[in-house]
């Protein structure tokens, strides 16, 4: 049984628009980078797809936490058969998203960096990796799911790490 939670639009569209990475003209976008990446095309597409999946998983966890925090949840269960009080549900959600939690900005960024190291061909230019990560964020945004601030914070944290590398 699918226990999906309807997304909570906790971040106004205008704020999300301001947080999106700057778009370049269509000709110099991800598709053009793929056309220049002779042997790396599949790897970069895979990186973009897996990045999108990880951002959407993070968004789902953060949206669940925000819904619990605002009290917009009635009879929610984590799907493991446990009936938890609202306080217990809130504690469990907070453990997942706040500092050190699996879906926290830092932990998600760490997993994405591990993914980059595992998938990226040796000597890949940061420009290509950044384009693949940006494409993953764009795919997440186009999914129709509500994208909370934490996802944009994770993206920015990742960009900072790549720029320092």
In tens, the pLDDT along 86-136 reads 788 889 999 999 989 999 999 999 999 998 888 776 656 777 888 889 999
Average pLDDT of the segment spanning 48-53:
94
| pTM above threshold 0.75 | no
C-alpha pair distances (Å), 9 with each of 6, 21, 63, 130: 10, 20, 8, 27
SS3 78: coil
Helix axes 41-70, 149-164, angle to 10 degrees: 140
- Eight-state DSSP code of residue 127: H
């Amino acid at each position: 049984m699918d226990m999906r939670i309807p997304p909570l639009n906790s971040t106004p569209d205008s704020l999300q628009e301001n947080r999106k990475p700057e778009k370049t003209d269509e000709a110099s976008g991800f598709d053009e980078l793929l056309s220049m990446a002779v042997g790396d095309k599949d790897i970069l597409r895979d990186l973009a797809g897996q990045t999108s999946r990880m951002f959407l998983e993070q968004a789902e966890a953060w949206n669940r936490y925000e819904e619990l925090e605002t009290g917009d949840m009635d009879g929610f269960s984590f799907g493991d058969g446990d009936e938890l009080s609202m306080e217990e549900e809130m504690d469990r959600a907070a453990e997942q998203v706040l500092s050190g939690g699996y879906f926290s900005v830092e932990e998600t960024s760490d997993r994405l960096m591990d993914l980059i190291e595992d998938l990226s061909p040796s000597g890949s230019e940061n420009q290509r990796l950044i384009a693949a990560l940006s494409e993953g964020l764009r795919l997440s945004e186009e999914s129709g799911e509500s994208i909370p601030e934490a996802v944009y914070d994770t993206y920015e944290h990742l960009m900072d790490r790549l720029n320092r590398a």
